[in-house]
Amino acid sequence: MTPLDIYVLDAPILRQETTVLSEVTDAHRRLIDDMFETMHIARGIGLAATQVGRLERICVIDIDKVKYALVNPEIVASDGEQSGEEGCLSIPEIYGDVTRAKHVVVRALDRSGKPIEIDAHDLLARCLQHEIDHLHGRLFIDYLSLLKRTAAIKKWRKLRGKDKSLTRTMPPRETAEHHDRDEEL
């Protein structure tokens, strides 16, 4: 498994629509494995293909030791409301409150290409909505008020300083430093 570079805010690919896969191939399964590896090193709980510079409609999630690799995920039902703080591996160290559905039903293919349905509440439901948004070029900061979004982007630019690179390179797992938060998606 190879850790992949994570694309960060300003990278145009984060705003692109992904492509539906007609089948799940070994190449896709390798991408899924690399995405899990990248997400674990970055200590995230979710990661979408656009975040690693790819346009396949694939995302991975690992919450409370339950792992999901989802191909062509689609929200088929949603209800309720929850508000909570979100972060994103593509906008590190920036957080904002986002209101989302409390409960969603998601249909997707698993890594073997088998259709699955996930009935998710709370954090898993939030994570699914965040990742599926990525697969349609949407970021969590899009949900913030103009004022909060502007402040978040300003903070991000300040934290970055002169660094204008569009990717973060993940260190190999052994040397990965531990962050005090692991809620970025």
94 binds Zn ion (CB under 5 A): no
Return the range that interacts with Zn ion (CB under 5 A); candidates 80-88, 121-129, 146-154, 170-178: 80-88
141 binds Zn ion (CB under 5 A): no
59 binds Zn ion (CB under 5 A): no
Work out how close the CB of 32 gets to Zn ion at its nearest, in angstroms, rounded to a whole number. Answer: 17
Tokens of 18: 């992904």
176: CB partners within 8 A, 6+ apart: 41, 43, 170
Name the residues annotated as catalytic: 131
Of 39 and 185, the one with the shorter C-beta distance to Zn ion is: 185
- Quick check: 168 and 11 in contact, CB under 8 A? no
185 binds Zn ion (CB under 5 A): yes
Return the range that interacts with Zn ion (CB under 5 A); candidates 10-18, 24-32, 83-91, 157-165: 83-91
In Å, what is the CA distance from 138 to each residue of 56, 62, 167, 176?
15, 20, 18, 28
Of 24 and 48, the one with the shorter C-beta distance to Zn ion is: 48
Work out how close the CB of 185 gets to Zn ion at its nearest, in angstroms, rounded to a whole number. Answer: 4
Work out how close the CB of 25 gets to Zn ion at its nearest, in angstroms, rounded to a whole number. Answer: 25
Of 28 and 126, the one with the shorter C-beta distance to Zn ion is: 126
- Site for Zn ion (CB under 5 A): how many residues? 2
Tokens of 63: 């919450």
Q: Can you tell me which of 88, 120, 141, 144 binds Zn ion, judged by CB under 5 A?
A: 88
Of 113 and 149, the one with the shorter C-beta distance to Zn ion is: 149
Residues in touch with Zn ion (CB under 5 A): 88, 185
